[in-house]
Amino acid sequence: MVRSPSQSSENLNRALILEQLDGNSELMIELVQLFSEEAPQLIEAMRKSLQQADMQGLARSAHSLKGAASNFLAHGTVVAALQVEDDAKRGDTESARTALAALEVIVERLLTELANLCQGSPE
């Protein structure tokens, strides 16, 4: 069953994310910053790959985004990126296009949620 990512918000759990980082909230802020720079680049790369029908490149970028998002336990993004990766590996351009559009929406939402998470930091 494929979740419909555009419907879901990540509902990030700050305590759980911090647990993944040994409670280091400074590291969390740093990683969020890195992700905020990296995610749009990866999305851009995916768009280009799709345009050029470079399915291998598309799968690689989707895989990277999936790995990056997993550090924040952002399951919705992980699932959406996996969908793109799987579609790309199957060479299903049409599905990949739809999946990428959905991924873009959820990544946008994730970035906002992550930014809120950092502003809510006591530090």
Partner 1 sequence: MRILIADDEIVSRRRLQALLTTWGHDVVSVEDGTAAFDLLKAPDAPRIVLLDWMMPGMNGVDVCRAIRNERPEPYTYMLLLTAKDAKENVVEGLESGADDYVVKPWDPEELKARLRTGQRILELEDHLVEARETMRFKATHDHLTFLLNRGAIVDLLERELVRTLREKGCTIVILGDLDHFKNVNDTYGHLVGDEVLREAARRLLGSVRSYDFVGRYGGEEFLLVLNNCDTSQAMLRAEEIRKGIAGLPIQTARGPLSLTMSMGVLSSKEWNQCGPAEILCQVDAALYRAKASGRNRSELARPNSHEISLVPTK
Q: Which residues bind partner 1 (CB under 8 A)?
A: 19-22, 24, 27, 30-31, 34-35, 38, 60, 63-64, 66-68, 70-71, 73
Residue closer to partner 1, measured from CB, 35 or 87: 35
Nearest approach, Cβ of residue 67 and partner 1 (Å): 5
From 78, 72, 69, 66, select the one nearest 20 (Cα to Cα): 72
Interatomic CA distance for residues 87 and 98, integer angstroms: 10
Task: Provide the residue type at 106 as one letter.
Answer: I
Residue closer to partner 1, measured from CB, 70 or 95: 70
Interatomic CA distance for residues 22 and 16, integer angstroms: 10
Residue with tokens 């345009």: 51
Q: Residue 34 phi/psi, 5° resolution?
A: -60, -45
Residue closer to partner 1, measured from CB, 68 or 99: 68
Interatomic CA distance for residues 93 and 22, integer angstroms: 40
Nearest approach, Cβ of residue 34 and partner 1 (Å): 5
Nearest approach, Cβ of residue 89 and partner 1 (Å): 12
Residue closer to partner 1, measured from CB, 71 or 94: 71
Given a contact cutoff of 8 angstroms between Cβ atoms, the answer to whether 65 and 49 are in contact is no
Nearest approach, Cβ of residue 30 and partner 1 (Å): 7
